[in-house]
Amino acid sequence: APQELLAFGDSMPVTITIYNRGREPVMLSDLRLTGTLHRAMEAVTIAPDSSVRLSRSVIGLVDTRPWWIGSRGGADMFKRKESSADGLARVSVMPSDLVPGTAVAEDARRETDVAVTLNVAGAKVTADAGPINFRTSDPVLGEQNRPVGGVPAVTLEFDRSLNWVPAGKQIDRQLRLTLRSFASSPKTFSFKLVTPAGIRVDSVPASVTLQPNEQREVFLRLRGSLKEGRHIFGITAVGETGSYLEGFTTVLYPHIRPIRLYHQSGMYLQAVEVTVPATLSVAYVQGVGDFVAPFLRDLMIPVSILTPEELPLADLSRFSTVVVGTRAYQAHRELVAYNSRLLDFAKKGGTLVVQYGQNEMTAPGVLPYPIGRNNARVTEEDAPVTVLEPKSRLLNWPNKIGEADWADWLQERSLYMPTVIDPHFSTPLEMHDPGEPENRGALLVTPLGKGMYVYTTLSLFRQIPGGVPGGVRLFVNALSAGLEPPPPKKVQP
């Protein structure tokens, strides 16, 4: 095929080559392609040590999104896909091979197929030639073959599927919407918005025309305020040939077929009651799978991303707080060498917040005081949380952490928790899975010189991108551990 992706409704030519490397002639009597109407053909004789090349036009290639990724189907793990050409109903090019609706291994499924019928030495043979491929060359990897598939003619995609919003406060922010055409002809469409009460959207173009294979960015300006809770914001492109409300990203590795992950062209606006100190400013050293920093900016917290290489020369005095992301010490060994600079930052009055690591955290000098045996977890996301130090500032300022903040957590509470903790640390929380021993290793806090050191194994890196209000409120408290609360307002007599 001349391209990897074909818009639904479009057609493209494909070339089929049949090689005869034997010593006797072979007769090609039939050729069938998924995505094209079958037509009878005159038999073609392929001489020994030669080939024949045929052209066909395919249309309406099947959707190549994985059947095992998507919304749940009620009590079932996966929602059944009723398409006759993909998903659970599509298991083979020959309907008699397997019963439709049976799930089979990925390498046994075909998104697109080529089947030929040959006459070899008087015997009729039908051969499955596999998928239609898009072939490219890579200077390092060599020849690359990817199965072709169908995609929407137009896709719409936001950068993220969730944005935090301070509840009850005026916001004025821009969202980037990426438009992309996979069609072979220009597509003109207008937009339809779904907006929550209290939000108005500016800068929406009246219409857009995308040329074939064009990609364009549109910036939407959101203004207004939202009540506490989760709100839906979405956008649909409406054209003469239909509506478009999806985008996808592609997972691409050399050892597997490309996987396209689809999502709706919308997002959640998560409005949270949160107080952020005016003097809070953050330098963030990102860790593994750590996407927290952009969400802090949603809450109007000034955040600068620092790489470990920049750490020795960076002016940390500009920040109130430095954050080290999940497993950063393991992923960036140079961070261990520069760790003394981070500890000095805290000793001079800053706040250092370090998120969970694995065995590297027990090495001397990584934490200011030692921990040991950090292999405990709390895998139940609704495991009870016991407050051991109700007056701990991390649980009271600038946000009062209550029982509601531990509700609706995602996947787990805490991971790689230490079970041996130096007494210099205060441990305001206790949590454990049912049947497991008590553990105080979720949150460790200690003064360090003039500043504060916070080590947390709580899975905040999951809760904040997942829209859990308690996770973001607790994280803001940790970031603010070394800041001074404002003096109480004087009451006028």
pTM for the predicted model, two decimal places: 0.86
The label of the residue with tokens 């607790």 reads 474
CA–CA–CA angle 270, 354, 338 (5° rounding): 135
pLDDT tens per residue, range 276-313: 999 999 999 999 989 999 999 999 999 999 999 999 99
In angstroms, how far is CA 463 from the centroid of its own chain? 14
Q: pLDDT of the chain along its 493 residues, tens only?
A: 999 999 988 999 999 999 999 999 999 999 988 767 778 899 999 999 999 999 999 887 767 777 666 554 455 555 554 443 443 333 333 333 333 334 444 445 555 578 899 999 999 999 888 888 999 998 988 898 888 888 999 999 999 999 999 999 999 999 999 999 999 999 999 999 999 999 999 889 999 999 999 999 999 999 999 999 999 999 999 999 889 999 999 998 888 888 888 889 999 999 999 999 999 999 999 999 899 999 999 999 999 999 999 999 999 999 999 999 999 999 999 999 999 999 999 999 999 999 999 999 999 999 999 998 888 999 999 999 999 999 999 999 999 999 999 999 999 999 999 999 999 999 999 999 999 999 999 999 999 999 999 999 999 999 999 999 999 999 999 999 999 988 777 666 6
Q: How far is CA 308 from CA 291, 329, 460, in A?
A: 16, 10, 21
pLDDT at residue 101, as a whole number: 38
Pairing of strands 321-324, 351-355: parallel
pLDDT at residue 127, as a whole number: 87
Q: How far is CA 270 from CA 53, 198, 300, in A?
A: 57, 13, 14
pLDDT at residue 102, as a whole number: 43
Nearest to 260, CA basis, from 128, 92, 65:
65
Q: How far is CA 472 from CA 230, 275, 279, 463, in A?
A: 14, 11, 18, 7
Which long-range contacts (C-beta less than 8 Å, at least 24 apart) are formed by 284-287? 284/322, 284/323, 284/325, 285/311, 285/322, 285/323, 285/324, 285/325, 285/328, 285/332, 285/335, 286/325, 286/328, 287/324, 287/325, 287/326, 287/327, 287/328, 287/331, 287/355, 287/461
Strand spans (E) along 252-355: 259-264, 266-272, 282-285, 303-305, 321-324, 351-355
Task: Give the number of other Cβ atoms within 10 Å of residue 432's Cβ.
Answer: 23
The label of the residue with tokens 């914001």 reads 233
Q: Which residues contact 37 (CB under 8 A, 6 or more apart)?
A: none
CA distance 357 to 368: 15
pLDDT at residue 76, as a whole number: 55
CA distance 234 to 59: 30
Q: How far is CA 257 from CA 66, 103, 137, 254, 397, in A?
A: 11, 18, 16, 8, 50
pLDDT at residue 147, as a whole number: 87
